[in-house]
Copies of this chain bind each other. A is one copy, B any other.
Amino acid sequence: MSNKNFSRKEQILESAAMLFKQNGYASSSMRDLASLLGIEAASLYHHVKSKEEILENICFALADKLITSIAEVNDIYFNAEEKLRSAIKNHIEIITDNSNFSAVFIHEWRHLSEPKLGEFKTLRLAYENEFKVIIQEGIREDIFDGVDEKFATLTILSTLNWVIEWFNKDGEMTPEEISTKLSDFILGGLRKKLVTDLDYKP
């Protein structure tokens, strides 16, 4: 596979992600995608094996990025709060940096069929687990409340993933600002805190 071919495939994946984000996977036809690229539908099959292969490539590309990123966070030693803040920051960075891919990763994965569907779920579970480990560590270090770990993990991730619903590269907030706000919210909650709070950082 030559360089040119590879970059053409990347173009296809990027256009597909944009299309799938906007209309959903099932409502996006290969003809729609082709016309977005200025070619005929049949020509797509020179670069991809099937429509589903496109979905697979998008979903797994993002899964890989997220898993690589959180493995790094967990490797470096920080206390749990710092780890959580890093994990949140990385997550937000990745999904805002790849907003089309992420939207597909988050919403369209269920259109995968077996065996890829199973593999995908495994990867996603692995990622969630790395997050859960951080929460558990925080509880062990006694800096997090003894909340239901699984519940907390999934609540946090759903909050993070919601960002792609409204994020706009030209919008008011930078990914960095979003991460900080979300971290503060997740750690501190809505209720007003006294300055005597344990570890309270404004």
A148 in contact (CB, < 8 A): yes
Give the bracket for the number of chain A residues in contact with chain B. 35 or more
Whether, in the assembled complex, A52 has its beta carbon less than 8 Å from a beta carbon of chain B, the answer is no
Partner-B contacts on A (CB < 8 A): 24, 26-27, 81, 84, 107, 110-111, 135, 138, 142-145, 147-148, 151-152, 154-156, 158-159, 162, 165-166, 181-182, 185-194, 196-200
Q: State the Cβ distance, A129 to closest chain B Cβ, in Å.
A: 16
From B27, B107, B182, B187, contact of A191 by CB (8 A): B187
Q: Which residues of B contact A182 (CB under 8 A)?
A: 155
**In the complex where A154-B162, A166-B154 touch, is A190 in contact with B198 (Cβ < 8 A)?**
no
Q: Which residue of B lies closest to A187 (CB)?
A: B191
Contact B155 A165 (CB under 8 A): no
Residue in A165, A192, A193, A199 whose Cβ sees the most chain B Cβ within 10 Å: A192
Q: Which residue of B lies closest to A165 (CB)?
A: B158
A and B contact pairs by CB, cutoff 8 A, 26 listed: A24-B26, A24-B110, A24-B111, A138-B190, A144-B192, A145-B190, A145-B192, A147-B181, A147-B190, A151-B181, A154-B162, A154-B166, A155-B162, A158-B159, A159-B162, A186-B190, A187-B189, A187-B191, A188-B189, A189-B190, A189-B191, A191-B199, A191-B200, A192-B198, A196-B196, A197-B197
In the complex, the chain B residue whose C-beta lies closest to that of A158 is: B162
